Amino acid sequence: MVSDGIATVGSRFAQTHDESVDRRDANRAVAVSAVGLLITGGVELALAIITGSVALLGDALHNLSDVSTSAVVFLGFWVSKRPPSKTYPYGFERAEDLAGLGVALVVWLSAVFAGYESYRKLVGGEGTSHLGIGMAGAALGIIGNQVVARYKAVVGKRIQSVTLQADAKHSWLDALSSLGALIGLIVVASGRTWGDPIAGFAVTLFILHVGWEVTREVVHHLMDGLDAGDIDAARDAACAVSGVEAATVRGRWMGRSLLIEVEGQVAARTTIESATSIGAEVAERVHDAVPAVRDVRFIPAER
Ligand SMILES: [Zn+2]
């Protein structure tokens, strides 16, 4: 396809069998983990209301925030399947980033809420009741996150998914937040009522961390932030094609699809036909060099 001197070649939407099986396994791991955390967070929330524990409240909000980020990933998959339209010729994949901004807002608000409730309880000196079931709720938070962490780590290692392994580490660290809530309740049991609100502040820090991570990731995507290593690899791959003297590489994100634009210098009087075949080879090599790439655009420029 040639239009306005820009050749678009090398769309490779078809996945090999192994890749699609791995993706399905990864999706299942994310979905199962989200359901596990949803139950954990839901039970914690109910127990937080019964006991009046702000640390448990914060921990519940944290777990539910993590569930909502997973939900956005699935929403993104679902929305991005819609074919491009005349009004949205690039498709609907950015809907995921838009939903991500919504999630970020909810996470920041829950941090403010948990922090404010902790402050109110610390100043007001209100007590915490039913300490036993409160501690059981915090213990559930530890166990829930640890189980999810192990599961993601095992699947992540098997299919060699860096994202899933990083996610496993996140869940492992989240067990520390639940541990904080448990310690707070133990301190309360020893007669010091400030134990719970102080633990509530510590848990609030964890929620702020989630807010920061989610916001940073969404903004990075919306600003078309790329890995410098990917840009270098794409340029090297393009320059390895015979006929390409030098190349300038840029990239943009469409949701989770990476579009790479290669402006390659070719000899003067190169025919459109050979420029197109050079472009096809550039696209193929860039696809191999940068696995995240969905589409490559080759723009021939005169040397
Ligand atoms: Zn978390």
Identify the structural domains of the chain with CATH numbers, from first to last. 17-222 (1.20.1510), 226-302 (3.30.70.1350)
Going from the Cα of 210 to the center of ligand 1, the distance in angstroms, rounded, reads 6
Structure tokens at 64: 């539910």
Containing 293, the helix (H) or strand (E) segment is strand 293-302
What was the pLDDT predicted at 18? 62
What was the pLDDT predicted at 115? 96
Q: Give tens-digit pLDDT for 159-216.
A: 887 778 888 988 998 999 999 999 999 999 999 999 999 999 999 999 999 899 889 9
Going from the Cα of 62 to the center of ligand 1, the distance in angstroms, rounded, reads 6
Going from the Cα of 171 to the center of ligand 1, the distance in angstroms, rounded, reads 6
* DSSP of 196-265: HHHHHHHHHHHHHHHHHHHHHHHHHHHTT---HHHHHHHHHHHHTSTT---EEEEEEEETTEEEEEEEEE
Distance CA 299, CA 287 (A): 16
Going from the Cα of 122 to the center of ligand 1, the distance in angstroms, rounded, reads 25
Q: Give tens-digit pLDDT for 95-128.
A: 878 888 888 898 899 999 999 999 999 999 788 8
What was the pLDDT predicted at 9? 39
What was the pLDDT predicted at 80? 75
Distance CA 26, CA 19 (A): 10
Structure tokens at 92: 């609907």
Going from the Cα of 74 to the center of ligand 1, the distance in angstroms, rounded, reads 18
Cβ neighbours, 10 Å, residue 83? 7
Going from the Cα of 114 to the center of ligand 1, the distance in angstroms, rounded, reads 15
3-state secondary structure of 3: strand
Mean pLDDT computed over every residue of the chain: 88
Going from the Cα of 245 to the center of ligand 1, the distance in angstroms, rounded, reads 47
What was the pLDDT predicted at 48? 95
Q: Give tens-digit pLDDT for 235-289.
A: 999 999 999 999 999 999 887 789 999 999 999 889 999 999 999 999 999 999 9
Going from the Cα of 61 to the center of ligand 1, the distance in angstroms, rounded, reads 10
Going from the Cα of 250 to the center of ligand 1, the distance in angstroms, rounded, reads 33
Q: Is the pLDDT of residue 4 over 80?
A: no
Residue 210 CA: distances (Å) to CA of 29, 38, 160 = 20, 16, 24
Where on the phi/psi map is residue 300: left (φ > 0), alpha (ψ -120 to 50), or beta?
Answer: beta
Distance CA 136, CA 59 (A): 13
Q: Is the pLDDT of residue 5 over 50?
A: no
Residue 2's pLDDT band (cuts 50, 70, 90): very low
Structure tokens at 238: 């393009």
What was the pLDDT predicted at 63? 94
Distance CA 153, CA 161 (A): 9
What was the pLDDT predicted at 170? 87
Contacts for 157-160: CB closer than 8 Å, 24+ residues apart: 158/25, 159/22, 159/25, 159/26, 160/22
Q: Give tens-digit pLDDT for 37-87.
A: 999 999 999 999 999 999 999 999 999 998 988 888 778 778 877 899 999
What was the pLDDT predicted at 39? 96
Residue 45 CA to its chain's centroid (Å): 24
